[in-house]
Amino acid sequence: MKYLSTLTLLFYLLFSCNPAKKAKVSNAFFEAMDRNYLRVDSLLKEYPDSAVTENEKVYDIIRQHSKQLFLLPDTIYNGDISIVVSADKKLCLVSWNTHLGGTLKWFESMALFYTADGSLQTQMVQDNEHLFGEENSSSLIFYDTLYSFPAGKETLYIAYGTGQGSALLSWQQLSALAIDGQKLLRKKVFPGNKSNWLVEFDISKLKREEIPMIEVMDSGRLVRMPIATDEGGFSFRYDLLEFRDSMFWVKK
């Protein structure tokens, strides 16, 4: 019996955790994305509307590979695509550079998530009310890290990402998300009743190596947020945000 158990474990490791299998999955997805980029880039200059339509095909590419994307480690591919998966394997964020922007990099993000009944859903991340004062169909944020922790009866996910408003404007943002029923909700847990917390720096006001980074600690419960000056420089001060009583509070 001991021999059979060992043999069973060996087969499990070979077939369910096979790196070659993961490589095949990732190759198929990234190859499809590369082909899409070639079409977008070839159309963009003379046929921009067609390039936009071509980019929308990315939604189907992601959906076609949705289950397999949960198998991948956190990945950044060619600086254009980011895949991050939560520790509980219930949420995956796929962000990509659409190549449709100019000095403003036009990123989009799609969330893949498992609901309580085990079904896999997809939903675009529309979370840039900080940037335009209203909801928009694109996040403009390239998410590359995902934190999570229990918050009451739900799991709160804190996504970290970056963006570029222009050649000089550097963005960093945290977004709070939670799975509720069949939907992924933005949770207004940041000060000011906001679901996102964004900091913007004008890199002409400071040296690139001096750009301070948002620091996330304790699985997302504690955040050290750099404070920008009115001119977009660095004030050399930080806000320390702590999650308690269902909200983030500035810790005094």
Weakly modelled stretches of the chain, pLDDT under 70: 1-26, 127-138, 208-209, 252
Count the Cβ atoms, other than its own, within 10 Å of residue 149: 14
For 48, residues 6+ apart whose C-beta sits below 8 A from its C-beta are 100
Closest C-alpha to 174, from 209, 138, 203, 147: 147
How many Å apart are CA 126 and CA 175, to the nearest integer?
10
| Whole-number pLDDT of residue 103 | 78
| Whole-number pLDDT of residue 61 | 97
Sole residue written with tokens 């990315």: 58
The pLDDT tens digits of the residues spanning 142-177 come to 999 999 999 999 999 999 999 988 888 899 999 999
The residue range of the domain holding 232 is 2-250
For the chain, how many structural domains are there in total?
1
| Whole-number pLDDT of residue 166 | 85
Strand spans (E) along 115-210 = 120-124, 142-151, 154-164, 169-180, 183-186, 196-202
For 131, residues 6+ apart whose C-beta sits below 8 A from its C-beta are 140, 165, 171, 198
Q: Three-class SS of residue 223?
A: strand
| Whole-number pLDDT of residue 11 | 33
| Whole-number pLDDT of residue 19 | 45
| Whole-number pLDDT of residue 167 | 83
Strand spans (E) along 1-114 = 75-77, 81-85, 91-97, 107-114
pTM of the model: 0.86
